[in-house]
A and B are shown apart, each in its own frame.
Chain A
Amino acid sequence: MAKIRKKGEKVVPEISTASLPDIIFMLLFFFMATTSMKEVSYMVKFTVPEATELQKLEKKTLVRHIYVGKPIANLVKLHGTESRIQIDDEFADVNQVEELITLERESMNEVDKPKLIVSIKADKETKMGVITDIKQELRKAYALKISYAATQRQ
């Protein structure tokens, strides 16, 4: 009798959870691979202004960024404290903007070219002079759709 009961106890199967960590790790790697980190290293520091009537920029591939602000702390010696323009990974002069944006557009898909949106990410303390100059350059480059980057005001 005792022998039979012992046998019966042994039969209870246990679900192996050994593969669970692997599954979760796979998820983890998936997320780590897909979430893009910031595209460029900022050479200017900026806090975008606040506004309420914001629209989302849907397609990332259509958007090009222009950063405007004062150079970051360890570039102050080299570039001073005046507001500078950064496109991609380099500082740009105002009169280079047209050329650079045109180049950016050339590298885009033929279908997407007219849909280019230029997002101006500028520090809220920037003087409008710089922004106006950029806008004039963008007009010359026929990049007419722009977006003033801002954060949602609560």
Chain B
Amino acid sequence: MAKRSVPSINASSMADISFLLLVFFLVTTSMAVNKGLIRKLPPPLDKDQPIDTQIKIKERDVFVVLINSQNQLMVEGKQISVKDLRSKTKEFITNEYNDPNLPIVSTVNVPLIGQINITKDHVISLQNDRGTDYQSYLEVQNELVAAYNELRDELAKQKFGKYFNELDEASQLAVLKVYPQKISEAEPKNYGGD
């Protein structure tokens, strides 16, 4: 008896087709990456807390950053552009040359790092208007954070030969002790303007 073979449909291209589909879905579904500038808010003020018992901070220790409703930036009484903010901030935080107008430098002993000059009491005060654009505000925040990050990286490179986020936890803590982030945001006020 002669067997008649039923011609089978060639299914080898089926795999290719489904691969194509797979790739298409992989490309189009955006893996919504949640990225952002992480900040900490101060806890709410106590209602009973009298306002005038604020801690006294010396003027030279404060770095005042103001943004007005026209998105203009004023730092320490002078109008500057956002591009210059980072270097200005770094200059303020380190005070390398012991400038009497910049924060007080004191020598401290930090574990793993040793003797180092830091400005213990410096504070960056950021104030914005209600009319400031979010983008400008975030840019300023970004520059301030970037200044800290660069300083930390520089120190980490100098002392450990690695970038800050490559360090182990103990060394990271040591670096953080030298450069803790001190960005304070003023209680909101309405300065007027548009």
User: A residues touching B (Cβ–Cβ < 8 Å)?
Assistant: 17-18, 20-21, 24-25, 27-28, 31-32, 35-38, 49-57, 60, 63, 117, 119-120, 122-129, 131-132, 135-136, 138-140, 142-152
Contacts and interface: CB of A to CB of B under 8 A. Distances in A.
B132 interface: yes
10 closest residue pairs by CB, A with B? A129-B130, A147-B36, A124-B135, A21-B14, A24-B18, A57-B34, A20-B15, A51-B142, A128-B132, A49-B135
B12 A17 contact: yes
B135 A53 contact: no
B50 interface: no
B3 to A, nearest CB: 12
Contact of B19 (A24, A35, A142): A24
B38 A147 contact: yes
A38 B14 CA distance: 31
**Chain A interface SS verdict (over half):** mixed
Contacts of A132: 128, 130, 188
Interface of B: 11-12, 14-15, 17-19, 21-22, 25-26, 29, 31-44, 128-135, 137-139, 141-142, 145-146, 149, 188
B130 A148 contact: no
B40 A27 contact: no
B91 to A, nearest CB: 19
Contacts of B22: 24, 27-28, 31
A127 B43 contact: no
Nearest to A26: B18
A51 B133 contact: no
Contacts of B141: 51, 148
The listed residue with most B CB atoms (<10 A of its CB), out of A126, A138, A150, is: A150
B134 A127 contact: yes
